[in-house]
Amino acid sequence: MFKIAINSVPVIMTKFFAQSDKEATLGLGAIPESTKRVVFIDTPATSHLVSTIEELVSRGIEVIVRDHHDVPNPRNSREQEIATAANRVRELVGSNAVISNRQANPACSGLIQVGEFNGEGTVIVADPDPDGLTAAMKATGVYYPELDTDADVLDGGRAGQTADKLSAHAFLFTRAMSTLPLFNAERPQISEDAKAKLFTDFVSMINGDSEATARLQKGVETYEAGVREAERLSETVTDIIPSVAFVDLMTSPRFDLTTLAQKMEARPGTNVTVQKKAQGPIAAKCGGVQYSLAVAKAHQAEVNLQECLPSGFTSSPEAGIISNTTFLLHVSESVWNETVLPALRNRFAQ
C-alpha cells in the first residue's frame, strides 16, 4: 500500500487480498477523521473489501464504488464468489455502487466523469496499477484527451502496450514503469516508494510539469537496455506443451516485460504464455517462485485460465493464486505443478 495526492485529494493505492489490507486502509490515519466520503476505484470485490466498506458505513462515511470486475454469469465457484461480494457491496451502498465488467468497460475511467470526485473531505482508494491511477486522475479532474483510450490499453496485456496504441504520455509512462525496482518482501517500501514517485510524476507531467517529464524521460535509457535483454531472453523461450510458450526468468537481469510478452505471443500457434520468475507477491509468500500466465490476445475469448484452477479456489498471495480475470493468472510452484500444468496439458496436449 502507498499513498499519493492528486489535485490535493488523498489517494490510497492498495488491494484487498487479506485482512491486513483492510487494517492498513482503515488504520494509522490513512483515512482522516474529517473524511466525508470514500471512493473505491478499480478494487475487485472481495470479502476484505466488503468488511472495509461495512466499517466505513458504520462510521457514517459515504461510500462510492466504481469497478469493472463483476461477473454477470458466473461459471465456477470463484466467479460466483466475486459476484456475491459485488452484490453485497451493492446492498451496502445502493446506487453509489457502479460495478461493471471488463467486457462493457475495459478500464474503470469509463465509469467516471471528469472531476466527479474532486473536493475537500474525499478520499479515493484505488488499485495500485495504471487503471487505478488513470481512473483516480479523471475522478479528481486531471485529464487529457487520450486518457480513456490509454486506460483501456494499459489495463490489458503487456504485449498490446505499444507506441501505436498509446499516447506519447502513456507510452513514456509504460517505459518508466519497466524500470521500477523489483518487489522485495523483506523491504517492500523500496518498490512502493518508487511506484508512488512514478505515479506522482505522471500526474505532474499531465499537469504540465516539465521537470516531472524530464525525470520520466531519464528512464528511457534504462528502458532500452531492458528491451535488449528481453530480446535476448525471447531466444530462450520454449514450447513447454503445444500452444504454451514458456520462459525461465529465475536468474535473469532486468528486462522489459512488454517486449518479452510481445515476442512470446508472436511465436506461431501460441495460445498461452508462461513466465517462471523469482519476483512477485506469490514468490514473496510461497518459496521464492511465481509462475505468471497470460492468454494471447487473439485467444482470450476461447481460453479461460480460471478453468485450470480447483473449484472454490481462494485468490491471495498466501494461497499461491492471484486471479481476477480469465486471461491472467499468477500461481505458486506447487499450484503450477499439481494443478495448472496438468490442466494445460489436458487442454492443449491433445
Taking all residues of the chain, what is their mean pLDDT, rounded to a whole number? 93
Return the pLDDT at 350: 65
Specify the residue for cell string 485482512.
19
- The most confident of the ranges 134-148, 274-288, 301-315 is 134-148
User: Which triple of cell numbers denotes residue 30?
Assistant: 490513512
Kindly report, residue by residue over 25-54, the tens digit of the pLDDT: 887 678 988 999 999 999 999 999 999 999
Return the pLDDT at 28: 61
Q: How far are the Cα atoms of 123, 141, 148, 167, 322 from residue 153, in angstroms, in the given order? A: 26, 21, 9, 10, 21
Q: Cα separation of 282 and 99, whole Å?
A: 27
Of the two residues 130 and 188, the one the predictor is more confident about is: 130
161: helix, strand or coil:
coil
Which residues are CB-neighbours of 304 under 8 A, at least 6 positions away? 75, 326, 327
The strand order across the sheet containing 97-99 reads 2-6, 9-13, 122-126, 37-41, 62-67, 97-99
132: helix, strand or coil:
helix
Return the pLDDT at 79: 84
Lowest mean pLDDT among 13-17, 95-99, 104-108, 242-246: 13-17
Specify the residue for cell string 494509522.
28
Q: Cα separation of 47 and 88, whole Å?
A: 9
pTM of the predicted model as reported, rounded to 2 decimal places: 0.72
Q: What is the mean pLDDT of residues 313-337?
A: 94
Nearest to 203 by CA among 125, 137, 138: 137
CATH among 1.10.10, 3.10.310, 3.40.50, 1.20.120 for 231-348: 3.10.310
Return the pLDDT at 262: 93
Which residues are CB-neighbours of 118 under 8 A, at least 6 positions away? 7, 9, 139, 140, 141
Return the pLDDT at 188: 79
35 phi and psi, to 5 degrees? Answer: -65, 130
pLDDT at 273 over 80: yes
Q: How far are the Cα atoms of 266, 267, 304, 320 from residue 347, in angstroms, in the given order? A: 20, 19, 11, 22
Residue-range domain boundaries for the chain: 2-155, 231-348
pLDDT at 175 over 70: yes
222 phi and psi, to 5 degrees? Answer: -65, -40
Q: Count of CB atoms within 10 A of residue 156's CB?
A: 20
Q: What is the mean pLDDT of residues 187-216?
A: 94
Q: Cα separation of 319 and 99, whole Å?
A: 26
161 phi and psi, to 5 degrees? Answer: -90, 75
Fold (CATH) for 2-155: Protein-Tyrosine Phosphatase; Chain A (3.90.190)
pLDDT at 192 over 80: yes
